[in-house]
Structure 1
Amino acid sequence: MEYNALIKPSESTKPTPSIIGTAISQAFLIERTDVELAQAGKVLAFDFDEHGQIIQIEADSAALAHLSHVKSAAAADSVS
């Protein structure tokens, strides 16, 4: 097989986004709608439980708000 075909598969051999989304959903035990949210977002924030399981995904403005809250809490912890 040609190198370029391995690096850049043709459209006919690429898995469809729905197959990829379903696989991600099943692998990480999250809802398909959360996968779609993550695929559409530019900035993502993930919350995990104590076992490392994803429990919440936020995208874009919600993610930015979440990230600034986490940074503020971390800064407060470093000062005290």
Structure 2
Amino acid sequence: MQASLTLLTASASAAAAIVYLAHKGNVRANWFAICQQFESFCERISGSLIGSFAAMVILIALISLSAFALARHH
């Protein structure tokens, strides 16, 4: 379960970086913000990013609950 939380954290962090580039762009790398042209795409990726971070919170709660349950039995 902790491995899945680690993978989810890494993928959500990478997605957050891409969402930031889509919204703000990077002038040094000559990447322009695409959200002015593709608003529905940016709404979707922002929504999926929120879902990823919500899944992280749920996994953290599940791991904490299972740790408390194991601690009570020993």
TM range (shorter): 0.3 to 0.5
Higher strand share: 1
TM-score by length of 1: 0.31
TM-score by length of 2: 0.33
